A and B are shown apart, each in its own frame.
Chain A
Amino acid sequence: MKISRMSAIALTIAMGICGGSVAGAQGLTVNASGVKTVKLSDRVSKNQFVWVSNAPLENMKGTAEGVSGTLTLDPRNLGTIRGTIGATVSTMKSGNAMRDSHIQSAQWLDGAKYPLLSFTIGSVSGIKVTGNSATGTATGKFTMHGVTKSLSVPFKITYLDESAETRKRAPGDLVMISATFDVALADYNVSGAQGTIGSKVGEKIQVTAQLFGSTGL
């Protein structure tokens, strides 16, 4: 009887510890708490989308800058991350001026008609925390070439509490988010010049987003 009571107490304590760790599993080890608004800014570091196209006849690497966006998040509960991030099509570069003009053209991304690529975060799952960093998967709506599709994006977030070092970049706490995902051109009705996709341009473009923001801007 005495042993069973002790077992029950031990079980209760164990459940409490487990429950506590699960509740805290989505929280970063930082001083900040509460919902923060993070504004992306190149003052913190260069915001950009890096894209890679691998095709049998040509491999291309490029960037898209002109990134803007605002996120809300509670560093103690990363499941709350929400927001929209955008990049302007006109800032896409590939190292070849003629090719850059083709990217903007109506056959490809039609920058005049659809000037923005955007991703709106709807939910966040699978968060694993390591100190002031965490990984997880953000699911949301990705819009390109006027087509919006659901997309799940694995990401890494790093949160830096405001310090003398961070104030050299921008006021407030600093946040870095990196994410890599594939975009299938056909899914977004990008057909390109005839016979180009699959030979000179990859059917899927690998995109890596590097996002930097501050809570004090």
Chain B
Amino acid sequence: MNKRILAIICLLVALGLLVYWWTTGAHIYNVEQVQVDVVDPLFGTTTKEWKNDFHPGLLGYIGPAVAVFVVLAGWLFWSGRKPKQPASV
């Protein structure tokens, strides 16, 4: 496969990871539990319960993974570029 296409795929994966991170709470650090609302029917109040639900953080897994894919994309672009034609004399 063309290295340029592979590089674009890597960039899309990096972008996808950032979108996933943003939509799952944009946590800076990994989160192992999230709050869920529980309504008390007697008082009509809402209390918080903790539910096990892992969300990778930017400084946990997402950031390093994005960095790897961006570096890989850069290397693929660089290595896949066409050699310059020698100037005709």
B-binding residues in A (CB < 8 A): 45-46, 48, 50, 57-59, 61, 63, 93, 95-99, 158, 160, 165-166, 169, 174, 176, 178, 200, 210, 212
Chain B residues within an 8 Å CB radius of A59: 26
Nearest chain B CB to A162 CB, angstrom units: 13
Distance in angstroms from A211 CB to nearest chain B CB is: 10
Q: Which residues of B contact A58 (CB under 8 A)?
A: 27-28
Which partner residue on chain A sits nearest B33 by CB separation?
A: A95
Within 8 A of A (CB), among B38-78: 38, 40, 42-43, 45, 47-50
Cβ contact within 8 Å between B50 and A93: yes
Q: Tell me the smallest distance from the CB of B33 to a CB of chain A, in Å.
A: 4
B residues whose Cβ falls under 8 Å from a Cβ of A = 26-35, 38, 40, 42-43, 45, 47-50
Contact yes or no, B28 A200, CB < 8 A: yes
Please indicate the chain A residues that have their CB under 8 angstroms from the CB of B27 in the complex: 58
CB of B42 within 8 A of CB of A96, answer no
A45 touches B35 (CB 8 A): no
Q: Which residue of A lies closest to B43 (CB)?
A: A176
Question: Within the complex, which residue of A96, A169, A178 is in contact with B45, where a contact is CB–CB below 8 Å?
Answer: A178
Residues of B within 8 A of A176 (CB): 43, 45
In the bound complex, residues from chain A placing their C-beta under 8 Å from that of B35 are 61, 63, 95
